[in-house]
Amino acid sequence: MLKACARGDGLYVSLTRFVVRGELTSEEHARHAHVRTIEASVLDQCRVGAPLAGLFGVLPEMYAEHGYEGAEHEHHQGGTTGYLPRELLASAESEERLVGNGAFALHPSVRAATIEDTFLLHEGGELENLTFDPRWPSVLVAGRQRPLPLEVLP
C-alpha cells in the first residue's frame, strides 16, 4: 500500500494506491471492487451544503451490504482537507457541511483494500479529482476513473 500526502500552494492532498507483486486473487479483486463501489455511493451524494453526517452516515449500511459489517470502525473514512492533511475526520456525528471550492478525501477501507483521492468540490457542484494520474491503471466507476491495484508481474 502506497500512501502519500503532499502540499502545494498551501493545499494538502492525499492518495492511496496498491502495488501487488503478481496477480490479485479473485477475492482480492472483489475487495477492491467493493471499496470502489462504496466510495462511489458517497461521491454521488457530494453537493455543496451536503452534511458530512449524512454522507458518512450511509457507510455502515454500505459496508454491511457488501459483506463487511462494522468495517467503518476499523479505519477512518476520510474527511476535509486544506491547510492540514485532515482538517476534520468526518463521521456520522459530524456537524459540518461540504463547502463550495472545498477539498476532501474519502478513505473507505476493508481489510487489505482501500481507495483514496483528494477531490475539490467546485461551487457549481462539479467534483474534480486533484490526485488522479491517467498513467495509473484505472476503471470507470459511476462515471469516474478510479485507480486499480497495480499488478507487477515477475
Q: Which amino acid would we find at residue 64?
A: A
* Range 125-133 average pLDDT: 96
b/e per residue, 103-139, with b = 16+ CB within 10 A? bbbbbbbbeebbbbbbbbbeeeeeeebbbbeeeeeee
Tell me the pLDDT band of 116, cut-offs 50, 70 and 90.
very high
Read off the pLDDT of residues 59-113 as tens digits, 9 standing for 90 and up.
999 999 999 999 999 988 999 998 888 888 888 899 999 999 999 999 999 999 9
- For residue 113, the Cα-to-chain-centroid distance in whole angstroms is 11
Domains of the chain: 2-142 (3.90.230.10)
pTM above 0.75, yes or no: yes
Cell of 39: 466510495
